[in-house]
Amino acid sequence: MLRRPRRNRKSEAVRNLVEETSLSVKDLIFPMFLVDGVKKSVAVDSMPGIYRYSIDTMLREIESCMKLGIQAFDVFPAYPDSLKDTIASESYNPETFYLKALREIKKEFPEVCLMSDVAMDPYSSDGHDGLVKNGKILNDETLEILARMSLAQADAGVDIIGPSDMMDGRVGYIRELLDESGFTDTSIMSYTAKYASAFYGPFRDALDSAPKFGDKKTYQMNPANSQEALIEGGLDTEEGADFLMVKPALSYLDIIKLLNDNFPLPIAAYNVSGEYSMVKASAEKGWIDNDRAMLEILLSIKRAGAKVILTYFAKEYASLVK
């Protein structure tokens, strides 16, 4: 008898029955870029379809996303050079536009899950995620700044804090300060395995946050390594993370699976800017079908073991499946 696996593909209905992985708008977090000012919605050239919003236009955009079923948002601020310094002091200034905007979002939409970013780069005149001295990124001295930043964000009402800096020990350090300060309900989604990647290029354009010297290889992981992801996953679990994130997603599907197989925490994956822009650029040229590529990419990330996907496709996906 010839074995015929094609029988399970013979009709849409049968294919639906045997479909193993499903994707939902509820799995997605939409990363958004915030700028100071009013009535702004400025296109990010390297990310077609993505804008930098001022708080008023961002609130309307969030509202329209919520109508499509999106319930989680991750807001990243773009700061002008004039507000950057070596110690990222703007990051915990309670009057800074980022913290004010986070407050406003939670006030207008208390039901959304609001995530924030913790790292020095948007506020640092050196453009690095940590404190720089004599050309070196200092680990332990950075922790205090990250913790102050986290506390200010928790105080603004964010639901999930996202340390994206890759300093050692930061999850535990931040958890302890949050707990001591009464923010026991504020979650941490740790950027657990964040690789030194070429795929962050368009994001750094969007935020004007490229490092002023060198690269991020002394803190972000080497794309050649997977064992290290297990070390990072173990530490973040012990230190109290609520989610473990892998970033980027597509070149690291094996890492998503590795963490999912080894740790009981929910795994998140960041489908980063360069992964988004590659699809947009080739679709604009008519070389691939945007919607089919988007669906296949998001599904592959879910199939690999991510429960949560941060993706610039969130709104487009939600509109498509509506």
In the complex, the residues that contact ligand PBG under the rule CB under 6 A are: 117, 119, 121, 129, 164-165, 200, 203-204, 272-273
List the end-to-end C-alpha distance of the chain, in Å, as a whole number.
Answer: 44
Facing residues of 115 across strands? 74, 160
Please say if 100 is a catalytic residue.
no
CB-nearest residue to ligand PBG = 203
Catalytic residue of the set 84, 216, 247, 302: 247
Shortest distance, position 219 Cβ to ligand PBG, whole Å: 9
Looking at the Cβ atoms of 183 and 200, the one nearer to ligand PBG is: 200
Taking the complex as a whole, the smallest distance from the CB of residue 1 to ligand PBG amounts, in Å, to 50
Cis-peptide into 248, omega within 30 deg: yes
Count CB atoms within 10 A of the CB of residue 319: 14
CA-nearest of 254, 264, 257 to 234 is 264
User: Quick one: tokens of 223?
Assistant: 């794309």
- With tokens 């002023």, the residue in question is 212
Asked if 256 and 266 touch (Cβ cutoff 8 Å), the reply is no
| CB contact at 8 A, 311 and 271 | yes
Q: How far is the CB of 272 from ligand PBG (least distance, A)?
A: 4
* Other Cβ atoms within 10 Å of 281 Cβ, number: 13
186 with 154: CB under 8 angstroms?
A: yes
- Among residues 91 and 260, whose Cβ is nearest to ligand PBG? 91
For this structure, is 133 an active site residue? no
Length of the chain: 322
Annotated catalytic residue within 194, 216, 280, 315: 194
Flag whether 95 is marked binding. no
Extended beta strands in the chain, E state? 28-34, 41-43, 51-53, 72-77, 113-118, 131-133, 136-138, 160-163, 187-194, 243-247, 267-271, 308-311
CB of 216 to ligand PBG, least distance (A): 6
Q: Is 312 helix (H, G, I), strand (E, B) or coil?
A: coil
For residue 121, give the amino acid letter: D
Q: Which is nearer to ligand PBG, 129 or 242 (CB)?
A: 129
Nearest approach in angstroms of CB 20 to ligand PBG is 28
Which CB, 63 or 125, lies closer to ligand PBG?
A: 125
> Minimum CB separation from ligand PBG for residue 214, in Å?
12
- For ligand PBG, the closer CB: 214 or 262: 214
CB-wise, 97 or 200, nearer to ligand PBG? 200
Name 294's bridge partners.
none
Residues annotated as part of the active site = 194, 247
Annotated binding site: 232
- What residues are designated binding site for Mg(2+)? 232
